Structure 1
Amino acid sequence: MSRRVSTCLLASSLVLALSGCGWFEFEEREEWRAQAEAACMAREDVRPTAYMSQRPRLDGPGVCGIDKPFEITALLDGQVRLKREATLGCPVTAATESWLAETVQPAAYLYFGSPVVELDSGSYACRTRNSQRGARLSEHAFGNAVDVMSFTLADGRRITVAQGWRGEPAERDFLREVFVGACGTFTTVLGPGSDAFHYDHFHLDLARHDARGERSVCRPRIDFDPRLDDPRPLIGAAPQPGLPALPTLPTTSLRPVPTTGALPLGFAPPAPVGGVY
């Protein structure tokens, strides 16, 4: 009898290990991750600043970690502070700064006449996708993903993904503008309507969805015509008195949003569950 009990306990422990934190020990770390980080550092796409410091390699548990981690309190040389300090790898840091400069800030001036000065965001976390047992590791486990819950403008206005996605017209259009722009910068973009886990934030990462890194995922599919490829609306987007002048920004041409496997905009998620990709 005792042998049977021991066998059952061993089997139960193995199942829990594979479906919980122990899963980290069994998944392999793909070679492209180190290659992408090394290439990013060699190009100096990200450099240490007063708001961004390089830290020693992050290891484990299992294959979690970042080869060249940065601890970040603000992006764009301090223009956009982070509500909480972020730990990210070089590639996704560079992509996030590009998205902020080329899409988010022009969109903020376009729709509100005021720049974004703070992000409520999430970064590195050694966990599975959506924190689900048995799932593969999230890109967050490699410092290769950013979650964005809200944008705060210089005039004090705060646009949240949870409320603004179906909120007033300016907020809806701004969030769709930055969502579509993200689909031209990141390889994975998930937002409200993609599934039950992303009702309140955008998930942005640089995962490789095929061997050559050419496939991207952008969900949900939305019916929206970006305005940032037309410089004319920016002419009338002067900031409010006392705010910084509208910077000279390149015209941004956004590529079409991938629609493979996308869900319609009207998809209604179930009650909030608090999960993240």
Structure 2
Amino acid sequence: LIFINRYMDFYGNTILWIYKHVSTLQMRTKYVMDLLNINESINQESSMNIVQLSSVKINDFSVGDLFYDGAWQKPIKGMYWKHNNSLWANATHIDIKKCYQSAKKGFETWSNVSIKARIQILSRFMPLLKLTGKFVLATIVERWIKFPYFYESIQGHIENEMIEVLYTRKPLGVIILKEENENILFFRLMQTLIAGNSVIVMFDANLCNPSSYYDMFSTCKIPPGVINLLSHENTSTLEPKLCLGDYTTYANRYFLKGTSLDTYIIPFKKLTLPNIIINPFQ
């Protein structure tokens, strides 16, 4: 007997088998944390574009901070980079570490929320986008919350009329995002969040800056730490620690380009790990 249960919660005596990929993921997360625990500073004072907030007339600029732990956070050293008429927080090593720790805590919460509940929470984002005239982004969110593949991600069978064997997926952990194109960023953001991962989005002057949406995320009641934001004058300097290499290679590990059906299904599998759950009948 093969079955699909769309909205299933698991209770009672349950045996959970997690594939060996988990150990690789845990090692990767530990390696990132080890790198962040090394007290290294990022050389930012050498740029003429970096200023101390206390040294400028704030009324002359709009000021953008970092976002983690569910709130806007000023950079520890008070350094900002200038772009047009704005000042954006220039994340230091300590800021990055705090942000990553926030994302880890957010993942622990979000990964334990069912896909159905995640979609219900994210669906609140759609009307807010429409109210601000972001109809394309609202359409991207709508496509994801209605995509049927996720409801079919729990399959299983009965063995010997004694046990129920279920095959499902487990989210990876903290995912890093940065994109030049806003539509691509939101497409991948929705993929990552629905899969149950937490996110750190990075941006600089050459990348999409999603900071105007973060208060909307809070309004949607997305738990603290699930969506985080780092800004830096040159985000490529953050990649070696957060991505353990360059971002292009990192992104290609999880995401596909284009709009085909594969761009929905394959990244979902790459952003999750296979689980086997065994429920003995009583």
Place the TM-score, normalised by the shorter chain, in its bin: under 0.3
Q: Name the one with the larger helix percent.
A: 2
Task: Compare relative contact order (CA 8 Å, sep 6+) and give the higher one, 1 or 2.
Answer: 2
Q: Name the one with the larger strand percent.
A: 2
Query: If the length of structure 1 is used for normalisation, what is the TM-score?
Result: 0.27
Query: If the length of structure 2 is used for normalisation, what is the TM-score?
Result: 0.27
